[in-house]
């Protein structure tokens, strides 16, 4: 079934934390401790986000990561695209150049294409600000 990867979850949690501390450089250690995450894996995710221009970083004693854009300008779709390979669709007939044997007579291809478009539209219209404004729980003390 369709689900977010651990990489996407870490990215969303880290960006949510950075949005709450907007304007301040935050260390990987601080974010990892706040949510009980693996610092090593989180660092790799933040490096990907930095390469994509979603976050910036400062080196040194007072260094860390910070948002490059306002949380309202960052969509979940853009965040997911930054840390994951491009999404290939819900079913295999929609991937690559090869078609499945049922392609010409398939009765579910079009409805699933519509579903994919709706899902992507939701990701592209949901912003990081929405994750910040409506958290279910607070980070660890």
Fold observed for domain 6-133: Arc Repressor Mutant, subunit A (1.10.10)
The mean pLDDT value of the chain amounts to 88
DSSP H helix total and E strand total for the chain = 6, 2
> How far is it, in rounded angstroms, from Cα 14 to Cα 42?
8
d(CA 140, CA 118): 34
Structure-token pair, residue 106: 């398939």
Q: What percent of the chain stands above pLDDT 70?
A: 88
Torsion 78-84-90-95 (CA) sign: positive
When pLDDT is cut at 50, 70 and 90, the band that residue 112 belongs to is confident
The tens digit of pLDDT for each residue in 17-63 reads 999 998 899 999 999 999 999 999 999 999 999 999 999 999 888 88
């Amino acid at each position: 079934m369709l689900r977010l990867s651990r990489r996407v979850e870490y990215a969303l949690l880290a960006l949510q934390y950075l949005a709450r501390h907007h304007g301040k450089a935050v260390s990987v250690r601080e974010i990892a401790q706040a949510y009980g995450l693996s610092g090593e894996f989180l660092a790799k995710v933040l490096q990907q986000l930095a390469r994509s221009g979603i976050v910036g970083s400062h080196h040194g004693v007072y260094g860390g990561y910070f948002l490059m854009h306002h949380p309202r300008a960052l969509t979940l779709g853009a965040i997911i695209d930054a840390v994951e390979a491009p999404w290939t669709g819900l079913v295999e007939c929609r991937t690559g150049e090869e078609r499945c044997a049922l392609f010409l007579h398939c009765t579910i291809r079009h409805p699933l294409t519509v579903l994919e478009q709706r899902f992507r539209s939701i990701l592209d219209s949901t912003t990081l600000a929405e994750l910040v404004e409506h958290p279910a729980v607070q980070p660890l003390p």
